[in-house]
Structure 1
Amino acid sequence: MRVFAIGDVHGCLVALNDLLAWVQPTRADDLIFLGDYVDRGPDTRGVINRLIELKQARPVVCLRGNHEIMMLQARDGGRPERKMWLGVGGVQALGSYGPALGVSGTFDDVPPGHWDFLENELVPYHETDRFIFVHAGVYHDAPMDEQPDNMLYWEFLPDAMRHYTGKTVICGHSSQRSGEPKVIPGAVCIDTCAYGGGWLTCLDAISGRYWQVDTLGRKREGWVDYE
């Protein structure tokens, strides 16, 4: 069994499909997505459709990211929440729900099944005997069921993140403009900027091997050395 973690997809359906086709996870492998499926990239709608299909076909863990939170807040809140979300990728997300090419969608164009996925199918973290998977980060001295939302979804990568359990933290959220996974003591971040010329990363948490694709179809792979 392998344990695959996939970093922030951000609407990059082509890269996601290419990555899955290359890595070819089986039903015997764990498959964990680290959140931020929506916004910024061109096809939020397609990404959510793909994740829903995957969950129907096999066990998949989908974490909640801060961009999913902002999308829901924009729908349910007022003008400030909507303006903030549109400014960080919501424009592209709604554009993917448009009724025609070049015509932006509205919240009413988002299918009920997508709202259900965002509200009810995402989890705050995933913990195994060796790893903690989380969107943003963890406090080193708190058990996972006591971690506050600001740490799970919003805080950026510190210089070290050694959890008291000794488990390695696998996270996204903190954009690595270099396109390379970032290893710090106790953790590795695989948000390698799938949108805007970056890479989408899949990490085998056990071996440290990773695979990357970009929106142009290029591929590369490497290894991380945990500290």
Structure 2
Amino acid sequence: MKGIKIHKPTQGQRWVVADVHANLKTLQYLVEKKLRLRLEDQLFLLGDYLNRGPDSKGVIDYLIELQDDDFQLYPLRGNHEQMLLDSHEKAKNYSEEELRLPSIQRGRGLKDAKRQLYPKYLNFLGSLPYYYELDEFYLVHAGFNFTVKNPLSDLDAMLWTRDFTERFIPEKINYKRVIYGHTTTPLSAIKEAVTNKAQAIPLDNGCYKHSLDEYGHLCAFNLDTWELVCQKNLDKGSDAQ
């Protein structure tokens, strides 16, 4: 699934949350205590739910639980999800000897002994789209490739590109603003982009970089009120993935 068009709800708010990176406690506190998410709200997530923080499995389980509880959850695919899906495919051809060799356990707890994703997680990750198109915005993990005729055709760029704002051509995407993650951005720069209502707004503050000034927050942006809500990292740990 490449992209999905989502219409504004008749009631409720629309929130966008940037890269979670396995920081479950921080995500839960942001969603439940600060945003106070309701069933009529829409919650968009920009990908990279895995790795770097302490609980990749916990974050994915939490997102699936929100969906099962009928919250309007719209998660995107990030490069870390794609890497996990790629490793799942690669492991299909591993010999028994290769399976016994040490490996980087990306997505610990999401795979079986043969390094295959459990069906529950494979279905969730495999269904993630690359972008959402809203009435006034595009939401994407990394950005778009404006050097090609149709920026919505380059799926790889949506997961991996950086510095795409230097080549931004608004008319190629119907003059809509872009909300994106992937590139860790100082908090002051995120706030400046929101205040100035920039054409492209970064939201990834590097939640896992909790020891650095200007970083270490999980950010949520209200698409209707332009409110920015930031939660300092509550997890602290790292799973070194």
TM-score of the pair, normalised by structure 2: 0.73
Which ranges in structure 1 are unaligned for 5 or more consecutive residues? Answer: 79-85, 100-104, 218-227
8 Å CA contact 1:181, 1:191 repeated in 2: no
- Which residue, out of 48, 51, 57, partners 1:39? 51
- Which residue, out of 70, 83, 89, partners 1:70? 83
Q: How far apart, in 1, do the equivalents of 2:53 and 2:114 lie?
A: 17
- Deviation for aligned residue 1:151: 1.6
Which ranges in structure 2 are unaligned for 5 or more consecutive residues? Answer: 1-11, 92-101, 211-215, 236-241
- Which residue, out of 10, 13, 23, partners 2:24? 13
Match of 2:74 in 1: 61
Match of 1:207 in 2: 225
- Which residue, out of 3, 17, 24, partners 2:36? 24
Match of 2:97 in 1: none
The structure-2 alpha-carbon separation of the partners of 1:98 and 1:130, relative to structure 1 and needing over 3 Å to count, comes to closer
Aligned CA-pair RMSD? 2.9
8 Å CA contact 1:132, 1:167 repeated in 2: yes
- Deviation for aligned residue 1:132: 0.5
DSSP 3-state at the match of 1:60: strand
The structure-2 alpha-carbon separation of the partners of 1:180 and 1:117, relative to structure 1 and needing over 3 Å to count, comes to farther
Q: How far apart, in 1, do the equivalents of 2:48 and 2:180 lie?
A: 11
Q: How far apart, in 2, do the equivalents of 1:38 and 1:113 lie?
A: 16
TM-score of the pair, normalised by structure 1: 0.77
Instruction: Give the structure, 1 or 2, with the largest relative contact order (CA under 8 Å, sep 6 or more).
Output: 2
Q: Which has the larger radius of gyration?
A: 2
Alignment pair present for 1:169 and 2:178: yes
- Deviation for aligned residue 1:119: 1.1
Amino acid in structure 1 at the alignment position of 2:170: H
Deviations 1:139-195 (A, max 9, x none): 347556x4211221110133443532111100111112x244533941101011111
